[in-house]
């Protein structure tokens, strides 16, 4: 049986967001909080999980992580807040936003 993988977004103490993926969300969060996570979060403690989504495999979670890392702050916040209408609107090219 395949182990599921989590995509997650952390909000750092400075208000920035960090996106990652892991097969053990609780353990990875504890690592980030202990300063053993990424260099980005280590310099911006404390952090909190503001979004997580389960994926059936690492490839899908990693692909979504790469996608989200390219998003604007507004788009990430729309995802975090579950504002699907705003997320769809922000996904449109600027010329097509009405």
pLDDT confidence bin for 1, thresholds 50/70/90:
low
CATH homologous superfamily for 5-71?
A: GIY-YIG endonuclease (3.40.1440.10)
Strands (E), the chain: 5-12, 17-22, 47-55
Look at residues 13, 81, 87 and name the one whose alpha carbon lies nearest to residue 46.
13
Average pLDDT over residues 57-78: 96
Tens-digit pLDDT profile for residues 10-67? 999 999 999 999 999 999 999 999 999 899 999 999 999 999 999 999 999 999 999 9
């Amino acid at each position: 049986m395949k182990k599921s993988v989590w995509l997650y977004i952390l909000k750092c103490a400075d208000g920035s967001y960090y996106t990652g993926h892991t097969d053990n969300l609780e353990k990875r969060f504890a690592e980030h909080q202990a300063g053993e996570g990424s260099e980005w979060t280590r310099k911006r403690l404390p952090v909190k999980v503001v979004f997580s989504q389960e994926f059936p495999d690492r490839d899908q979670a990693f692909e979504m992580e790469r996608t989200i890392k390219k998003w604007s702050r507004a788009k990430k916040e729309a995802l975090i807040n579950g504002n699907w209408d705003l997320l769809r609107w922000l996904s449109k090219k600027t010329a097509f936003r009405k």
